[in-house]
Amino acid sequence: MQLPQFTEQHAKQLSTFLDTQSQAMTLTQSQGYLFGVICSPEPLDVHEWMAAILPNTANNVDEEMLFLFMALYHQISEQVFEVGYKLPAQYNYEFCSNWSAGFVTATTSYTQKLLSSTALEAEYKQALESAQATLSFFALDGQTISQIALQNSIDEQLLCQQQYELMGDFALGFAELVEIVALNSGLYTDEGWEE
């Protein structure tokens, strides 16, 4: 099966399709979610991640839409493992909050599993906690972000801009970090989860 190169036109098609599906993630949430899924040491199959993006309707997706989702997955995977994952150049709060919400949905279970490993050294736990907190920062509600800005005596817009820049840095190395932490957790070997 030859997947099409994922284009802006495809992004518009998928976005329009997702907007018509009840309880579906937005395209941006899907991008954050798929990023988190791709970085996971426990890969999901297509049906599992499609069901998370499109609850109740994943099995009724026509072939063209399925190919577009697979092309999006392939594009993100290629960025994560080959060319470097890049967030958009300009900070946009709506994009960030949706992307982070999708990311949290994908990563919470496996990061919690890794962080609860008694074999994992503190430096690895701290690195993973920092990465998770940074990449999921915009999933916090606006009031919490305002409080963080106030507590740190920093302008809220500046705080968000700084967090976005950090997100870009952490996104570049997140898959590698998860792999290192997973291997050091004792829960994972090169062959897969041992539990």
Torsion from C-alpha of 127, 132, 134, 140, nearest 10 degrees: -150
Q: pLDDT of 184-194, one tens digit each?
A: 998 877 665 44
What structural domains does the chain harbor? 8-193 (1.20.120.740)
**Mean pLDDT of all residues in the chain?**
91
Residue 165 has pLDDT above 90, yes or no: yes
C-alpha triplet 13, 175, 140: angle, nearest 5°? 70
For residue range 118-164, what is the model confidence (pLDDT) as tens digits? 999 999 999 999 999 999 999 999 999 999 999 999 999 999 999 99
Calculate mean pLDDT across residues 15-43.
94
Q: How many residues belong to the chain?
A: 195
Give the pLDDT confidence score for residue 178 in this predicted structure. Answer: 95
For residues 134, 135, 138, 143, the Cα torsion angle rounded to the nearest 10 degrees is -30
53, 89, 160, 163, 182 from 156: Cα distances, Å: 31, 19, 6, 10, 35
Q: Where are the beta strands (DSSP E) in the chain?
A: 188-189, 192-193
